[in-house]
Structure 1
Amino acid sequence: MATLSSADSAALPGAVEGFPDRDRVVRERSVASLAMGSWIQTQRLLRRWTRDPMTLTQALFFPALLLVMLNTVLGRQISSFAGYDALYGTVPMTALVGVMSGSIAGAVTMGRERDDGLLARMWVLPIHRASGLVSRILAEGVRIVATTAVIVAVGYVLGFRFTQGIPAAIGFVAVPLLFGLAFATMVTAIALFTAKATLVEAISLGSSLLMFFSTGFVPLDAYPEWIQPFVENQPLTCAIDAMKGLSLGGPVQAPLIKTVLWSAGAIVVFAIPAAIGYRRASRK
């Protein structure tokens, strides 16, 4: 069979210049392939989430509405009881609630992609196999920062302010980022190891219970003494207290260390099951 030379193929109308040299081809397991595939799939996930009403509602609209409602209904009472503006508790709490709700919505969406065979189709493409999980971590990070920014913006309209300087404000955003990535790792592992979306959605009930039994809802002294140890040391309260200290002032080190320990523990426990579950779900 006759073949065209490079000059002949270039002369054809609409023809490409030719195939790239072999040494210029990006290998499937290379770092360049990982970066390229992760970037492309991160954009795909962000576009899908922005077009999904459930994800937008749970990650942005519901937490922002919750913040406005809590400040309108309970703001004055909590402020008078606590001795400081209630927004310094409710803004961190609603930011973390939005982070958790968005992760749950993302996990439900991933379960649907698994059931529809999309993960399996992505698995057989000539891209780095790790790009699927890396892209989800990157997309989760972008979503968490966006959710926190929206809640802080709403809080600023209501009267919330950073009083500890720019470094503390950056740390304020870093706390939900760490907390959210750990929570997303847990929810992802659960979503990949169960075929029922209801189990993942049931986690939202536990998240709501953590919200109502946290220092972001009311100060610690407002709870009965027998439940105060749980309220003080549960992961949501630790993150809220750290963010409160970074915005208003007060203890930061102790609640921040607890938040890091809670988050690191969740990542250590659920990271490997999440990776194994993603691989297994993609190969079906």
Structure 2
Amino acid sequence: MAVMQAPGGAGVGAASWVIARRGMRRTFRTPQIIVMGLVQSVAFLLIFRYVFGGAIGTGRVDYVDYMIPGLLTVSGLFAGMSAAVAVAEDVASGYLDRLKSLPMPRTAVISGQVAADTARVTLILAVSAALAFAVGFRVHAGWPSALAGFGLCVLFGFAFVWMFVALGLLSANPQAAQGAGFLALPLSFVSSAYVPVETMPGWLQGFAENQPVTVMMDAVRVLTQGDAAAALLGHGAAYYVTRSLAWTAGIIVVSGVIAVARVRRT
């Protein structure tokens, strides 16, 4: 694989852009990465909208309006998983070592990959949101608030990409990276994504209610559904948005430190 040339002595921004363009080109050369992300999102959307939706009570919030914020958050989580495999492939093939030999900051190697994967995640989220409206999802808190909710979904996706990039660098093997990605499954299913936390066994509710994915999706719920969602969940938008931003910042900082340290050591 040829190494893209960065400008001599390139700064972080210019070098990151070079790496990001390469990552986006790789994505478009293998569109199945995007297609599989969309297929997974659509499958969950249709199953929970039309198969299980009628059996799950969500108070004054219609089930489709309750479920979609969870689905979008989980879609960002699952879409970010392929970042781990992509980075591990770069390590295994020696591409990362060749990049590090160029006159560019080593942090650009990571930030460029994160930018490319975040663009892919954003595309998947946008298509998933459009499909959500097609199956009956509606906004009940005003469009400015709803757009803020979508912005949070993108921000969460950005954090998940950082997490999976760090996992990919730690594993340094595509197969191991793919396996590590499945550690995200408990975060998606032991959450309020598809059912209220109150319906879970008491011993599980504490984890489900306070883990980052639940906090993130509850923030999006309140931003898109307003007072009805706040009454169902027990708190207003400020509470959930603040907690979700704290989790997001923590994930980005911890993952970023691990990723940069790993790049410098490899």
Q: Specify the TM-score bucket, using the shorter chain as the normaliser.
A: 0.7 to 0.9
1:263-278 correspondence runs (5 A):
263-278=248-263
Q: Does 1:117 align with 2:94?
A: yes
The alpha-carbon deviation at position 218 of structure 1 amounts to 0.6
Q: Distance in 1 between matches of 2:59 and 2:197?
A: 9
Q: Say if 1:50 and 1:97 are closer, same or farther in 2 by CA, change over 3 A.
A: farther
Partner of 1:162: 139
93, 99, 106: which one aligns with 2:83: 106
Letter in 2 for 1:38: S
TM-score normalised by length of structure 1? 0.80
Q: Does 1:66 align with 2:44?
A: yes
Q: Deviations over 1:230-278 (max 9, x none)?
A: 2211111111111111111132122222212222222232211201212
Q: Say if 1:107 and 1:205 are closer, same or farther in 2 by CA, change over 3 A.
A: closer
The alpha-carbon deviation at position 94 of structure 1 amounts to 2.1
Partner of 2:170: 193
Q: Distance in 1 between matches of 2:77 and 2:213?
A: 10
Q: Say if 1:140 and 1:268 are closer, same or farther in 2 by CA, change over 3 A.
A: same
Structure 1: stretches of 5+ with no match in the other structure: 1-25
1:201-280 correspondence runs (5 A):
201-249=178-226, 250=230, 251-280=236-265
The alpha-carbon deviation at position 45 of structure 1 amounts to 0.7
The alpha-carbon deviation at position 127 of structure 1 amounts to 4.1
Q: Deviations over 1:195-252 (max 9, x none)?
A: 3444432344332222222112111221123322222111111111111111111321
Q: Deviations over 1:26-77 (max 9, x none)?
A: 6514x4xx33332232121112123335522443221122111211111222
Report how many residues are paired: 252
**Contact (CA 8 Å) 2:197, 2:209: kept in 1 or not?**
yes
Q: Which has the larger radius of gyration?
A: 1
Partner of 2:233: none
**Runs of 4+ in structure 1 displaced over 6 angstroms?**
none
Secondary structure of 1:159's counterpart equals: coil
Letter in 2 for 1:35: G
Letter in 1 for 2:28: T
Partner of 2:150: 173
Q: Say if 1:224 and 1:71 are closer, same or farther in 2 by CA, change over 3 A.
A: same
Partner of 1:140: 117
Q: Distance in 1 between matches of 2:107 and 2:190?
A: 38
Q: Does 1:40 align with 2:25?
A: no
Q: Say if 1:126 and 1:205 are closer, same or farther in 2 by CA, change over 3 A.
A: closer
Identity of aligned residues (%): 28
